[in-house]
Structure 1
């Protein structure tokens, strides 16, 4: 009877372990992280990225932490990055931005006292190191019992360069006081690796010389940066806010491209010469220095100017196109805060 009870208890315990194991494994799978994004390195620089550190010793160079070997020592040599100091940092710079949200450090059970106790995982934003994760009191016993330590955190921002910044090691006294055998970095697979789409609110524009109109781009995701270009700036120009200005008669294509991708959308701009028969007013502008400028303008240009004058300020400019022999075209720029007064003489 006792034997049957023991067998039943063992079977129940085994069943519970299996169920717990399945539950834990399923939760891990749902995290959805990529494989290690750092290709195996044989030197500090490759076509995919660059390794660097606070100390690049001959036998323990930076790239040894990215050589695909999880052991501290191998083949009579060393397969780890290391420094004689009890603090230090190890970094990897990707050739294209990544949204890292998981990293793994390995030591494969060798020399656990050399591995970090307290550190931060950081990203370089171009001006400062941004702390993404902090760890403390990871002892040599922790490293001995679990030679591969993984850490996850929330991050949806893309950076090129990441580092482990160690402020305390477990070492008491050694030639090499701080080491990492292997450092790996991963992205969450649910984060898009690049923007997906872009559209423009207008596929075609018709403008008279000197006129301006704004194009609006809609991108997904909406955090993507848009680069604006014109295939012929002698006909139409565009600024980085999508404002198109007609320069001279002809046809130009305005392209909006998501930065660092080949995803783009276009709008065709047809520029026509103003018909003088539609000229309706003389716009006379007196500047603060006493100089007066006069322009024979169409209704469109006049309305554009009036709208600009009401909304603009400071050094904002308005463009007027004129024909002055022997030049093909002359463009004058009137600065908003240089205008003393103006009058409109309709005819």
Structure 2
């Protein structure tokens, strides 16, 4: 290879790399809102852009991010970008009293870093995580598209995100409380809602569905009926050899990507196999459950979602199909407790 050819090749490679990466500038607010979690139960939360989970941030490996966070709440907060290596940008890691001062009420902070690790990541507050993350909904998904996806990823036709969390109804309505040893978590949710307020995940036969499972605040033992799961990634990184699983156990902070072939039409339950996680304040059926609903399958008259409106972006499938960026999702929005509550939509007779 001549020196000229080598120089040209390097220039082309650098040009390709630069065309992939972009500077992306986003804004997040931290707002005090009230969130309907389960029939008859709501919680006061600190929602990024007033929602739980926070907005989907979907970018590409190598992108440079500038995220300005405005604190509209009454307590200090930071944002930690969980899974980002922060190479040469450690002051933007979001740890109070270590990498930065907490963002005080009324103030803002701009985080600047390169997303140097692909996969299923997430972001969350790092002040008093037992309350702010564990009980107040301060978390959201950060999905980083890899430059070099593994072959099985290229088969995916639908990309869904599930974030698992818990709630303590005894402290749910008073900010600055909770997160103490010995407290009881008595509500369990997927994307901020407990069954039956988790919407059906709609698919059609032939889809290849990826579920991005994120342990936001509770341990979870995730099980699907009627289908096997192929576990392809852990904490954003591809496994050397994907494995088939019937149950996937994850701890708070862990992430797993699983891929499922939608080849068994029906109405199928997925649920947490930690038994009390499928209750609402001790009552069945509730908690961390959802229905995978195939298109064109007949809905019996007694089916709870028959004739009810389904939020199609509840698992962020539609937002994941949009151009890269930051995507608010209306279904996750809370209400301003001082401005009066919007009327609740009826939920299965509750």
- The TM-score normalised by the length of structure 1 is 0.23
Higher radius of gyration, 1 or 2: 1
Bigger relative contact order (CA 8 A; separation at least 6): 2
TM-score w.r.t. length of structure 2: 0.23
Higher helix share: 1
